[in-house]
Structure 1
């Protein structure tokens, strides 16, 4: 179905900024190269933050995990809250560097530390490799909090798209391992349910732009190592598969009305609330996948403001 008439007018012009992915095993190397060169946000050049690269121990038998740690240069002597951030890319694309303009701005605005995780990508590394890399980074952040100037009791996790999916899975994993406390999970149009790929009653008004159901099927098959939609998929791979959501941290979810993940995000928010988890859901009419933080675009800036407000509340709660 053609949904272009439903796109917010300010976002219509942005459609041409996104390449058509058409992901497959054959196109993936080229798409990765193209996406690495695509810059949708200008660099943050205030000079009021510093970023350091660290290599930390990975999961047992796995390589080290690279993280980028950003902090305000004029920070007080008090321990700062931290955001452990997971980048998007359908589980097959992206790197820790891609959200640095956003994270540097957040570190300056909120006086926090950000830790961006360069997890291994599928299909080269299927589940559980990516989420275990993220858990290693979360545990390292907690264990090294004193050295990093972080308040170990004020750690928030978050991510965008597949990064939001990994953050949601990470919240379940951290809850069940009961070693690292989390203040909140901040999920930007998270990719959390492989069953969307095979849903016979898929919402006809979502998924036309940026991230299609075809790309979604490739991303999930790459992560799972088999076709999506089967029985027995781990909730640590697809968080929507979890039977029990009780005990998860307060949750923020933001998604556009034209995003392929709209229905799975709405359902997840409802289930969180029914499990007694404080949750807020923001749906932005006319927004497609990938609009978070677009400068000069009201919907993107609105989501950023809502995100910042919720993150500030989590840090100070």
Structure 2
């Protein structure tokens, strides 16, 4: 299927302005260019918690709910590319998530590359999750109903965290939502060749991030940098995986879902035709962005329904 016409106009416009040269810019310049689109969503109440220097969590509470009310929680890892602090610009998106799910959203703000490289930021996020679980009463969350939601680079971190938590015997995360995740630095895929340039995530930029964040390929085969090649896929949380047809990361995201399924993990996966990397950020501008967002939220909510209730609950996909 061809690229969605609305996205095609957007892509043509941004590439005319030099978007294809992102790999030649500094992180500061990239931050200016990769501004998130406004969603025109009223922000919900949010509180900041400092875990330690350079590691914090922002907790969003759904509208019209007292922040002391105990709710299920979703740990959110944004598509930072490991180099961009999106905490402030994610307020609208996290507010949308909080209201849509009726859950608290916990945005982890960890240190960024190039000052903080793999695997340091991964273990910072692990420490944040342990803190969140320990401080569940303070945060007003149900410690037995915690999920993780990661997009792009955040999907890489989210997937790797489920492996780390499993390895430490910590049954904290009940469900993982991975949105066009980056899960394999070690292999080429057809989608990486078919959509190598001109779809808002160029291979040149992926290579740039690998150079800056993962020591120029030193960790390609590491099962935490490339969770798809992790040797242990047992006892991982149920998963929702969303991929975009015109995305270089499409094939590895879908392969990750297939590998989870092969190890008896329940997975709901869906590819969205004519879409590109990052398309969920065009909520209320693209019908398929709304559909994908709703699909992910529905699956996450269903994951928290007790088994005996789920058997009697019809879920429309």
Determine the structure 1 residue equivalent to 2:309: none
TM-score normalised by the chain length of structure 1: 0.87
Deviations 1:22-63 (A, max 9, x none): 34475333112333xx241334216xx311111113xxxxx3
Alignment of 1:168-207 (within 5 A): 168-196=159-187, 199=188, 203-207=192-196
1:236 correspondence with 2:231:
no
Distance 1:284 1:204 in 2: 19
Determine the structure 2 residue equivalent to 1:311: 300
CA contact (8 A) 1:80 1:112 kept: yes
Select 1:70's aligned residue among 45, 48, 60.
60
Determine the structure 1 residue equivalent to 2:73: 82
Distance 2:281 2:28 in 1: 27
Q: CA deviation at 1:266?
A: 1.4
SS of the aligned residue for 2:21 comes to coil
Q: CA deviation at 1:261?
A: 0.5
Distance 1:298 1:119 in 2: 32
Deviations 1:105-155 (A, max 9, x none): 221232211100112112221111111121122111111101111000100
Alignment of 1:26-175 (within 5 A): 26-35=25-34, 38-45=35-42, 49-57=44-52, 63-75=53-65, 79-175=70-166
Distance 1:315 1:99 in 2: 25
CA contact (8 A) 1:67 1:96 kept: no
Structure 1: tracts of 5 or more residues without a match: 58-62
Q: CA deviation at 1:12?
A: 2.0
Alignment of 1:257-276 (within 5 A): 257-276=245-264
Q: CA deviation at 1:281?
A: 1.2
Determine the structure 1 residue equivalent to 2:6: 10
SS of the aligned residue for 1:310 comes to helix
SS of the aligned residue for 2:128 comes to helix
Distance 1:201 1:211 in 2: 15
Gap change, CA 1:156 and 1:279, over 3 Å in 2: same
Alpha-carbon RMSD: 2.2
Distance 2:38 2:117 in 1: 29
TM-score normalised by the chain length of structure 2: 0.87
Aligned residues: 300
1:220 correspondence with 2:210:
yes
Deviates more, 1:123-132 or 1:153-162: 123-132
Q: CA deviation at 1:257?
A: 0.7
